[in-house]
């Protein structure tokens, strides 16, 4: 009996995606557009965080947003009220954005007259962590109600992200959330990642978050 051939399909898919992601990254660099891949669970506060972030950036930067979801245009309609350029992307049931989807989204959104683009990825902590979309920075949001043990359950997301926002800190008295324990878990996976507690509802911590983001944008612009 002959041996059964095994093909690692997932590895090939990710390798192909990485090649497209690098092409996207180079194109964005040429166009001088800074792309942020924003990842989080459903209900973590991505859209509310984006609204405050856009309002803080708009005096200095022209901002665009790609809202990715399985269906609906609710989030895009919310973002549109800020005056930012926005497009809704439906993934056709896919649980994440990949580099090819992102490239097509960017072509539809347009590069002209934009300095910063946010991709609000599909809400979950698994699939988006596996696929490079060509972003300059990967940012994740963890909300207090989700619990401090998430780095143990979803280590890849915490490993690949480059900034961690702990949202809904105004609810901390209600939930059994141990910030010190969370930081110890994250440090083992990604010791250099900044952790910024925020409240997207009340605005707490946003000065630190916006300062970090602006520094990253300017450093990226200077590194031509």
Number of domains in the chain: 1
- What integer best gives the mean pLDDT of the chain? 92
Please report, rounded to a whole number, the percentage of residues in the chain having pLDDT higher than 70: 93
* Cα distance between residue 193 and residue 215, in whole Å: 15
Asked if the structure places residue 1 within a domain, the reply is no
Length of the chain in residues, anyone? Answer: 224
Q: Which pLDDT value is given to residue 7?
A: 47
pLDDT (average), residues 16-22: 94
pLDDT digits (tens, 9 = 90+) for 54-113: 999 999 999 999 998 766 678 889 999 999 999 998 877 677 789 999 999 999 999 989
3: confidence class by pLDDT, cuts 50, 70, 90: low
Q: How confident is the model at residue 2 (pLDDT cuts 50, 70, 90)?
A: low
CATH number where 94 lies: 3.40.50.300
Mean pLDDT value across residues 112-134:
94
Check residue 73 and give its pLDDT: 74
Q: Domain for residue 191, yes or no? A: yes
Task: Assess if residue 172 is contained within a domain.
Answer: yes
Work out the average pLDDT over 196-221.
Answer: 97
Distance, CA of 117 to CA of 114 (rounded, Å): 7
Q: Residue 114 domain-assigned?
A: yes
SS (H, E, C) 131-198: CCCCCCEEEEEEEHHHCCCHHHHCHHHHHHCCEEEEECHHHCCCCCCCHHHHHHHHHHHCCCCCEEEC
Label residue 155 left, alpha or beta by phi (over 0 means left) and psi (-120 to 50 means alpha). alpha
pLDDT of 164 higher than 90: yes
Domain span at 57: 9-222
Question: What backbone phi and psi angles, to 5 degrees, belong to 86?
Answer: -140, 145
Count of C-beta atoms within a 10 Å radius of residue 105 = 19
Q: Does residue 4 lie in a domain region?
A: no
d(CA 121, CA 68): 5
- Residue 31 domain flag: yes
Indicate whether 3 belongs to any domain.
Answer: no
Burial-class residue 161 by CB neighbours within 10 Å (0-12, 13-18, 19+): buried
Distance CA 123, CA 132 (A): 16
The reported pLDDT for the residue numbered 12 is 72
pLDDT of residue 6: 44
């Amino acid at each position: 009996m002959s041996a059964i051939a095994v093909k690692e399909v997932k590895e090939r898919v990710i390798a192909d995606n990485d090649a497209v992601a690098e092409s996207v990254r180079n194109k964005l660099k040429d166009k001088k557009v800074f792309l942020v891949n924003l990842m989080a669970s459903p209900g973590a506060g991505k859209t509310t965080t984006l609204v405050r972030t856009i309002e803080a950036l708009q005096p200095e930067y022209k901002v665009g947003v790609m809202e990715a979801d399985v269906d609906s245009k609710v989030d895009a309609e919310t973002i549109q009220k800020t005056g930012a350029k926005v497009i809704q992307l439906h993934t056709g049931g896919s649980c994440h954005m990949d580099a090819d989807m992102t490239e097509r989204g960017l072509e539809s959104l347009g590069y002209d007259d934009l300095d910063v683009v946010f991709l609000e990825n599909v809400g979950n902590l698994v699939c988006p962590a596996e696929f490079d979309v060509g972003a300059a920075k990967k940012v994740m949001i963890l909300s207090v109600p989700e619990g401090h043990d998430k780095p143990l359950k979803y280590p890849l997301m915490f490993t690949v992200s480059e900034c961690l926002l702990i949202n809904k800190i105004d609810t901390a008295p209600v939930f059994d959330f141990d910030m010190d324990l969370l930081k110890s878990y994250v440090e083992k996976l990604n010791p250099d990642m900044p952790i910024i507690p925020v409240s997207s509802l009340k605005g707490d911590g946003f000065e630190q978050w916006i300062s970090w983001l602006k520094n990253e944008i300017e450093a990226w612009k200077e590194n031509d």
